[in-house]
Amino acid sequence: MIVGFDYGSANCSVGAWINERVELLPLGLNSNYLPSTLYAMDRELIAEAVYQGLPESQKAEYSHLRSSQLMRAKQIRHELDLLPNEQAVFVGQAAIDAYLDMPEEGFYVRSPKSFLGATGLRADQVALFEDIVTLMMQHVKTIVDKQLQAKSLACASHVIVGRPVNFQGIGGEQSNQQAQAILSLAAKRAGFTAVGFLFEPLAAGMDFEATLTQAAKVLVVDVGGGTTDCSLVNMGPELMGKSQRDTDCLGHSGQRIGGNDLDIALAMEAFMPSFGSKSYMKDDKSVPLSPFWNAVAVNDISAQRDFYHLSTKKLIEELIKDAQQPELLGRLQTMQKNQMSFQVVRQAELAKVALSDVPSCQSQLEFVEKGLCIEVDLAQFEQAITPSLEKVSTLMQQAMATDVNSHDAQPDIVYITGGTARSPAIYQQIAKVYPQAKVVVGDHFGSVTAGLTRWAQYYFKAN
């Protein structure tokens, strides 16, 4: 069976071509989407879980590659008093639930896709991300195969995986190759026999193309959880049946900026003042901002490592001694001691979603301090996300500029998609870049998956 797989920064989803139409397959309870999260009681247990889910033909090679991790996993199980078959690694909503239940004890990863193109990764770090992605893909494929078998269809064997134009703002094509290699290897270890890739904005555009009745030059703006990608594409009903669309793709741009960055920015703007970010020392000097940024930068490995390092613990202790409002910094101390970064940023994400419908909302942070409730309003949100949206505007202009025939022309249509773009404050700002173009706000979550699934039918039949 041929499928499209959107391995997203925020969620995963899979589509199949059933009865001459795209059908998204349920991956969770009453949901077609699985949160892109993983929680392990210990990181060494991830390799063990991957090994258990591998096809028999791959186990010997993998066991050789991960011999030390698999040996340590046995020791960890003994230390944690876990039974041989007791589940110790969780994916999706189960990972979120496990993390919230034991935030200080295990290994939690949110949006692993955001790290795949990171520069300077050591071999052991690349191996860890290979295992994280593999385990998530194994989990998804198991669910998908059960869904397909229930419909008397063959298991998923051929897959087109979505990828951003650029996985990282720095690192260039080397970062892209590293990330795509991790995804490709993980898909094959998960049991897919053939793997292909397609730019996510192009996939989203292909789904939208099915609704067009005439040719148009479309600027697809895909604002996802971890990346924003723009593609300028010639579209129209007469182009849909082509197996190769390279000449119709007039320009691309992309950068690692998305919903995660907006959540972090909102957490910094709306929450961190209550943790002391805008407070002063007794000598009237401002409190340094770096520990606050590091505290909420959950998509930056180095920042999180710095925040939870002993040196930051000592810094916060020193700041509390000489602060005008030590009680505020005490909250930062609690956040650091109990490893609450993801929980805090999660509340910012929930506030972002709520502000799509209301002008203000209350964010409960009682897990930090009893009674701590912070009001967040639309003005704070708009101020927090302005720098990020300016970068999105630049990406749109870059995509247009790469079309040698554009000559500063307007696109006919700006098609906005991606989970982050569901906020009116976001898509209204995007629409201002090309005010004369028709603006269409698409399916925020399903458009990329649907496009990948459509393209997969052409791609594998042509190859």
What DSSP assignment string belongs to 200-265? Answer: HHHHHHHHHHTT-SS-EEEEEEEE-SS-EEEEEEEE-TTTTT-S--GGGEEEEEEES-SHHHHHHH
| Tokens describing residue 302 | 């180095």
| Tokens describing residue 361 | 């909302």
pLDDT in tens, 294-316: 999 988 878 888 999 999 999 99
Instruction: Provide mean pLDDT across the span 206-215.
Output: 86
pLDDT of residue 41: 93
pLDDT of residue 407: 55
**% of the chain surpassing 70 pLDDT:** 95
pLDDT of residue 118: 83
Query: Which class for 358: exposed (0-12), middle (13-18), buried (19 or more C-beta within 10 A)?
Result: exposed
Which residues, in sequence order, are CB contacts of 334 under 8 Å at separation 6+?
340, 368, 369
Which residues, in sequence order, are CB contacts of 128 under 8 Å at separation 6+?
43, 46
Question: Helix (H) and strand (E) counts for the chain?
Answer: 16, 16
pLDDT above 90: residue 284: yes
Q: Which of 55-69, 130-144, 157-171, 250-264 has the lowest mean pLDDT?
A: 157-171
From residue 454, give the alpha-carbon distance in Å to each of 17, 207, 291, 387. Answer: 7, 7, 46, 35
pTM of the predicted protein model: 0.73
pLDDT of residue 29: 82
Per-residue pLDDT band at 251 (split at 50, 70, 90): confident
Q: Which of 129-138, 241-250, 272-281, 411-420 has the lowest mean pLDDT?
A: 241-250
pLDDT of residue 290: 95
| Strand pairing report for 34-35 and 11-18 | antiparallel
pLDDT above 80: residue 212: yes
Q: CA 408, CA 415: separation in Å to the nearest integer?
A: 18
Q: CA 239, CA 39: separation in Å to the nearest integer?
A: 44
pLDDT of residue 445: 67
Instruction: Provide mean pLDDT across the span 339-351.
Output: 93
pLDDT of residue 15: 95
pLDDT of residue 222: 84
Name the amino acid, one letter, at 44. E
pLDDT above 90: residue 244: no
pLDDT of residue 406: 55
pLDDT of residue 241: 67
pLDDT above 70: residue 169: no
DSSP annotation of 26 reads P
Name the amino acid, one letter, at 334. T
Please check whether residue 89 is in contact with residue 106, taking contact to mean a CB–CB distance below 8 angstroms: no
**% of the chain surpassing 90 pLDDT:** 58
Please check whether residue 32 is in contact with residue 187, taking contact to mean a CB–CB distance below 8 angstroms: no
Per-residue pLDDT band at 96 (split at 50, 70, 90): confident
pLDDT above 90: residue 74: yes
pLDDT above 90: residue 188: yes
Cα 198–chain centre separation = 17
pLDDT of residue 257: 83
Mean of all residue pLDDT scores within the chain? 89
Please check whether residue 425 is in contact with residue 383, taking contact to mean a CB–CB distance below 8 angstroms: no
pLDDT of residue 167: 81
pLDDT of residue 165: 78
Per-residue pLDDT band at 95 (split at 50, 70, 90): very high
Q: Which of 271, 463, 461 is nearest to 365 (CA)?
A: 271
In order of their start, the domains of the chain are 2-192 (3.30.420.40), 211-258+385-441 (3.30.420.40), 260-384 (no CATH)
Q: CA 363, CA 410: separation in Å to the nearest integer?
A: 41
Please check whether residue 136 is in contact with residue 91, taking contact to mean a CB–CB distance below 8 angstroms: yes
Instruction: Provide mean pLDDT across the span 421-435.
Output: 83
Helix, coil or strand: residue 171:
coil
pLDDT of residue 463: 67
Instruction: Provide mean pLDDT across the span 440-445.
Output: 73
Q: Which of 109, 89, 86, 92 is nearest to 29 (CA)?
A: 92
Q: Which of 115-124, 133-142, 365-374, 440-449 has the lowest mean pLDDT?
A: 440-449
pLDDT of residue 170: 53
